[in-house]
Amino acid sequence: MTRRVLVLNGPNLGRLGSREPDVYGATSYAGLVERCAAAGRELGLDVEVRETNDEGELIGWLHEAADGRLPVVLNPGAFTHYSYGMRDAAAQRTAPLIEVHISNPHAREEFRHTSVVAAVATGTVAGFGIDSYVLALRALAGELSGQT
């Protein structure tokens, strides 16, 4: 039986491939979706990838995950640094939640150094490009199987 996992993406991640490729790489959002689905299949996970520019929608998805006891890989985008509403929704998690970032926020502008999500996440993976998602899914699979 495969375990359902939500991969949730915040603002501007739908622009992957065209948005600052020197920072975020050349992989498109469609490429990210396929990469996550392929990694999920290898790990026995049923991965559903979503993206929104709307803070309220992202909070609603986190509530859905908490209510359904669904594990989450979360790239909050810019919400990482200031959305206390999103942080509070993430804190309600009932399954592992891995925070993920394509770039390394600590190697960028100072305002990106603080994550309001990190303290309520199971863990964080950052700085490995699109592979950050694959690493996060592997960590999540380990958490779910009790191998961590």
Q: Which residue ranges are tagged as binding site for substrate?
A: 75, 81, 88, 102-103, 112
The whole-angstrom distance between residue 78's C-alpha and the CA centroid of its chain comes to: 12
Q: How far apart are CA 99 and CA 128, in angstroms?
A: 13
Indicate which residue of 24, 63, 82, 106 is catalytic. 24
Print the SS3 string covering 82-94. Answer: CCHHHHHHHHCCC
For 67-124, the DSSP string reads HHT--EEEE-GGGGGT-HHHHHHHHT-SS-EEEEESS-GGGS-GGGG--SSGGGSSEE
Indicate which residue of 101, 106, 113, 133 is catalytic. 101
- Residues at the annotated binding site? 75, 81, 88, 102-103, 112
Would you call 101 a catalytic residue per the annotation? yes
Positions annotated as catalytic residues are 24, 101
